[in-house]
Amino acid sequence: PRLANQIAAGEVVERPASVVKELVENALDAGAGRVDVEVEQGGAKLIRVRDDGSGIPESDLPLALNRHATSKILTLDDLEAVGTLGFRGEALASISSVARLALTSRTVDQEAAARVEAEGRDMDARISPAAHPVGTTVEVRDLFFNTPARRKFLRTEKTEFNHVEECVRRQALGRFDTGFTLRHNQKTVQSLRPAESDLDRERRVGSLCGRQFIDNAVMIDTEATGLRLWGWVALPTFSRSQADLQYFFVNGRVIRDRLVAHAVRQAYRDVLYNNRHPAFVLYLEVDPATVDVNVHPTKHEVRFRDGRLVHDFIFRTLHRALADVRP
């Protein structure tokens, strides 16, 4: 089972950022109002994610590290209607098979917290008492310490941290109601309070995507035929030489989709005669029954029941917004 775990770990755990992604998703699934991410040496040495969510009952702590142990799916119906981000019960087991993992947690009913540790193998079921407020802290040290071949594939500290930062950026853009902090080598890189007003949200997007983006973007918010599209699209005055700034969320999950990309590009091209990569942070809200988010395990893909309707709605909405402000 150990080898099987390590092989399967490759699917979820590619680099520090993939660990951060899984841990933050768990925190969000636990209803966290605040998530603190701390990494050292780009995450290769330490990744610590702390939340103020529901916590894990002491008796469930050893279970949480078992493969296919998930508290999120009880029946087949649940599988159809997954509202949570995780549901396969693989992340913690996979991570603990390639790193030193410690899980400290406390629920509201517990007087004290408890802690379990695992080190590149099936858990040491010993539970020890610990000090921790209600919520959970997961610490992952020495990623790939027991799989040197994989450790060799880690890039520089800076590159790995950039991936971690990108991961937190996506999560924080997707959950305005949650506070986030990000620290690297004891330095605070992001500190985001929960955003409640339009101004708060705009400020958060500015912190995450740069003031330059938000100052050169139009805000849109349109609703029609059961669909809502809102967010920010950059005007041609926004210039960005580095990587793409393209974030599209469907019901809170970041996705990459050809149909969506096509609709956006088409609107830009039509109005602005602009073939450069458009920059945007957009949120599409649709009836969950009309979209399948489980096409792929990493859930970056979606399938819309009526793709044509979604495409045309996005195209028309952006077309109108951009035409209104055309220079």
Residues near ligand ADP (CB under 6 A): 22, 26-27, 30, 51, 53-56, 64, 69-72, 86-93, 136
By the 8 A CB rule, do 30 and 151 touch?
no
- Give 68 or 158: the residue with its C-beta nearer to ligand ADP: 68
> Could you say which of ligand ADP, Mg ion, none residue 316 binds, taking C-beta under 5 to 8 angstroms by partner kind?
none
* Smallest separation (angstroms) from ligand ADP to the CB of 181: 16
Q: What is the DSSP letter of 133?
A: -
Q: State the Cα angle at 7 between 171 and 19, rounded to 5°.
A: 20
Q: What are phi and psi of 322, to 5 degrees?
A: -75, -35
Q: What are phi and psi of 185, to 5 degrees?
A: 45, 50
* Smallest separation (angstroms) from Mg ion to the CB of 23: 8
* Smallest separation (angstroms) from Mg ion to the CB of 115: 19
- Give 73 or 214: the residue with its C-beta nearer to ligand ADP: 73
- Give 57 or 206: the residue with its C-beta nearer to ligand ADP: 57
* Smallest separation (angstroms) from ligand ADP to the CB of 265: 34
First to last CA, the chain: 62
Q: What is the DSSP string of 44-87?
A: TSEEEEEE-S----GGGHHHHTSTT--SS--SHHHHHT--SS--
Residue 123 is encoded by which pair of tokens? 């858990």
> Could you say which of ligand ADP, Mg ion, none residue 272 binds, taking C-beta under 5 to 8 angstroms by partner kind?
none
Q: What is the DSSP string of 197-239?
A: SHHHHHHHHHHHH-HHHHHTEEEEEEEETTEEEEEEEE-TT--
Query: How far apart are the C-alpha atoms of 140 and 117, rounded to whole Å?
Result: 10
* Smallest separation (angstroms) from ligand ADP to the CB of 76: 16
Query: How far apart are the C-alpha atoms of 133 and 53, rounded to whole Å?
Result: 10
> Could you say which of Mg ion, ligand ADP, none residue 56 binds, taking C-beta under 5 to 8 angstroms by partner kind?
ligand ADP
* Smallest separation (angstroms) from ligand ADP to the CB of 195: 22
- Give 38 or 90: the residue with its C-beta nearer to Mg ion: 90
- Give 29 or 157: the residue with its C-beta nearer to Mg ion: 29
Residues that bind Mg ion (CB under 5 A): 26, 86, 91
Residue 324 is encoded by which pair of tokens? 């209104």
> Could you say which of Mg ion, ligand ADP, none residue 253 binds, taking C-beta under 5 to 8 angstroms by partner kind?
none
- Give 46 or 56: the residue with its C-beta nearer to ligand ADP: 56
Q: Look at residues 219, 312, 304, 207 and name the one whose alpha carbon lies nearest to residue 255.
A: 304
What are the CA-CA distances from residue 208 to residues 80, 195, 213 (Å)?
Answer: 33, 13, 10
> Could you say which of Mg ion, ligand ADP, none residue 71 binds, taking C-beta under 5 to 8 angstroms by partner kind?
ligand ADP
- Give 8 or 218: the residue with its C-beta nearer to ligand ADP: 8
Residue 5 is encoded by which pair of tokens? 């775990």
* Smallest separation (angstroms) from ligand ADP to the CB of 182: 17
- Tell me which residue has its CB nearest to Mg ion: 86
- Give 41 or 84: the residue with its C-beta nearer to Mg ion: 84
Query: How far apart are the C-alpha atoms of 49 and 20, rounded to whole Å?
Result: 8
- Tell me which residue has its CB nearest to ligand ADP: 86
> Could you say which of Mg ion, ligand ADP, none residue 136 binds, taking C-beta under 5 to 8 angstroms by partner kind?
ligand ADP
